[in-house]
């Protein structure tokens, strides 16, 4: 078929039809709206023919019974269409279902706007401006509720057997409970899989973080197929190390060095902070564990009288703070900080900043899941220098590589 400017002859006929009596883009939009409504009506007529088994104006068995009027919302705004009815009331149209008032494209746009972090009120206002139609916040909520089965399926999906590195961290949201505002912690687990790619293994919501809560997260990971985690990286949350090792006894726990530095300098006056940080860097930046211990004792001699609480914390958690010294640089730079999962949570916060208070836990689950979907689109490549790190993991965890 002959083509002109990328259009075939039939498409050119349609363009010429649209151009007739059109002076502005608004005129074109109005014609497209009419064409859309007319096409829907013709498709409904074809469905009725199929349902009855004979064409219009034929006589047999069940018969047509006039038309019902219906307003639907589409990319072209509000369209009024005539929906054919049958006498027995058995006709179930597929192109526009009986109680459907929106095309699938509109619902997809609502979900996309919700995923981008827009509030329900903003979505309502945007749709009104674009399509000139009212869509209530309740309707937006009901549309987004349709993804809850997808959320549950994702949360319970099978996981890989081995994750070389897993990061644990939480993010806090405000939620309503019994007419009060309470804080809910959404705990995320980010894994680095055997291909070196980041993956959110799941999210769990709790009002109170506790050892039993952490244990339930680890049990869930195991029930979904995780057999081994080489190294777990996290902040020093009470009970988390024990919870991890109760389910994954061979897993090494590396506490986040960056968190430790922040906590160490929290109450150090500005005039000393630079010097204190420089001396702490000698500890965690040492070549090996022996040098780190020597640097710690030097720090003790210099600062312990003035800031005795700093090294109390380092001494208490020394075993978990220094796990990264057991490995070469390729592994060290992956595990010494929880920045990977904190960076993910910073992106989640961007998607949720317009939602100051969530009405339910399901509302939190929806928006966090949709944030995961959007954020994960950028995680297409392995983490930097994964090939080198993988080789080192294969050496240090050789006996566990085929769990």
pLDDT per residue as tens digits for the range 340-373: 999 999 999 888 877 778 888 888 898 899 889 8
CA distance 265 to 248: 33
Pairing of strands 7-8, 3-4: antiparallel
Structure tokens, 376: 């994960």
Residue 328, Cβ density class (10 Å: 0-12 exposed, 13-18 middle, ≥19 buried) = middle
pLDDT band at residue 221 using 50, 70 and 90 as cut-offs: very high
| Of residues 197 and 32, more confidently modeled | 197
First-to-final CA distance of the chain: 59
Structure tokens, 96: 């526009």
Helix axes 9-19, 25-52, angle to 10 degrees: 120
pLDDT band at residue 26 using 50, 70 and 90 as cut-offs: low
Are residues 381 and 197 in contact, defined by beta-carbon separation less than 8 angstroms? yes
Taken as a whole, the chain contains a residue count of: 403
Which residues is 203 bridged to in the sheet?
188
Mean pLDDT over each residue of the chain, to the nearest integer = 83
Backbone dihedral angles phi then psi of residue 74, each to the nearest 5 degrees: -140, -170
Residue 98 has pLDDT above 80, yes or no: no
pLDDT band at residue 1 using 50, 70 and 90 as cut-offs: very low
Summarised one tens digit per residue, pLDDT across range 128-171 is 665 556 666 676 777 777 788 889 999 999 999 999 999 999 99
Give the closest residue to 280 by CA, choosing from 271, 292, 267: 292
* Chain CA centroid to CA 72, Å: 31
Residue 70, Cβ density class (10 Å: 0-12 exposed, 13-18 middle, ≥19 buried) = middle
Summarised one tens digit per residue, pLDDT across range 192-212 is 999 999 999 999 998 777 888
| Of residues 383 and 64, more confidently modeled | 383
So what's the pLDDT on residue 122?
75
**Whole-prediction pTM:** 0.73
Distances (CA, A) of 277 to 237, 245, 261: 23, 32, 8
So what's the pLDDT on residue 8?
60
Summarised one tens digit per residue, pLDDT across range 265-282 is 988 999 999 999 999 999
Are residues 18 and 28 in contact, defined by beta-carbon separation less than 8 angstroms? yes
Residue with tokens 């055997």: 194
Residue 246 has pLDDT above 90, yes or no: yes
So what's the pLDDT on residue 229?
96
Please say whether the dihedral angle defined by the alpha carbons of residues 31, 37, 41 and 47, taken in this order, is positive or negative. Answer: positive
pLDDT band at residue 106 using 50, 70 and 90 as cut-offs: low
SS3 of 330, please?
helix
Distances (CA, A) of 304 to 4, 301, 311: 82, 6, 7
């Amino acid at each position: 078929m002959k083509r002109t400017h990328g259009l075939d002859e039939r498409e050119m006929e349609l363009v010429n039809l649209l151009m007739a009596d059109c002076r502005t883009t608004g005129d074109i939009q109005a014609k497209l709206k009419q064409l859309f409504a007319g096409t829907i009506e013709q498709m409904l007529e074809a469905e009725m023919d199929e349902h009855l088994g004979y064409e219009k104006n034929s006589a047999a068995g069940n018969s047509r019974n006039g038309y019902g009027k219906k307003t639907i919302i589409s990319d072209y705004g509000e369209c009024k269409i005539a929906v054919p009815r049958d006498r027995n009331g058995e006709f179930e149209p597929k192109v526009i279902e009986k109680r459907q008032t929106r095309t699938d494209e509109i619902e997809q746009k609502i979900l996309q706007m919700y995923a981008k972090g827009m509030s329900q009120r903003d979505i309502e206002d945007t749709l009104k401006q674009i399509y000139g139609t009212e869509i209530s916040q309740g309707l937006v909520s009901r549309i987004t509720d349709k993804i809850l089965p997808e959320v549950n399926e994702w949360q319970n999906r099978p996981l890989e057997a081995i994750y070389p590195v897993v990061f644990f961290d939480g993010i806090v949201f405000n939620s309503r409970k019994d007419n009060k505002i309470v804080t809910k912690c959404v705990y995320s687990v980010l894994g680095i899989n055997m291909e070196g790619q980041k993956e959110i293994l799941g999210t769990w919501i709790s009002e109170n973080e506790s050892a039993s809560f952490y244990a339930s997260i680890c049990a869930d990971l195991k029930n979904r197929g995780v057999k081994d985690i080489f190294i777990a990286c996290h902040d020093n949350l009470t009970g988390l190390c024990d919870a991890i090792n109760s389910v994954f006894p061979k897993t090494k726990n590396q506490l986040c060095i960056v968190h430790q530095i922040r906590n160490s300098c929290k109450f150090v006056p500005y005039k000393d902070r630079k010097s204190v940080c420089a001396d702490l860097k000698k500890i965690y930046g040492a070549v090996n564990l022996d040098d780190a211990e020597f640097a710690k004792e030097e720090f003790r001699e210099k600062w312990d009288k003035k800031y005795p609480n700093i090294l109390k914390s380092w001494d208490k958690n020394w075993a978990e703070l220094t796990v990264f010294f057991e490995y070469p640089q390729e592994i060290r730079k992956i595990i010494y900080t929880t920045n990977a999962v904190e960076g993910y949570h910073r992106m989640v916060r961007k998607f949720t900043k317009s939602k100051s208070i969530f009405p339910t836990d399901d509302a939190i689950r929806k928006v966090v899941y949709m944030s995961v979907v959007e954020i994960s689109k950028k995680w297409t490549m392995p983490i930097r220098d994964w090939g080198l790190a993988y080789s080192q993991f294969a050496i240090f965890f050789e006996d566990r590589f085929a769990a």
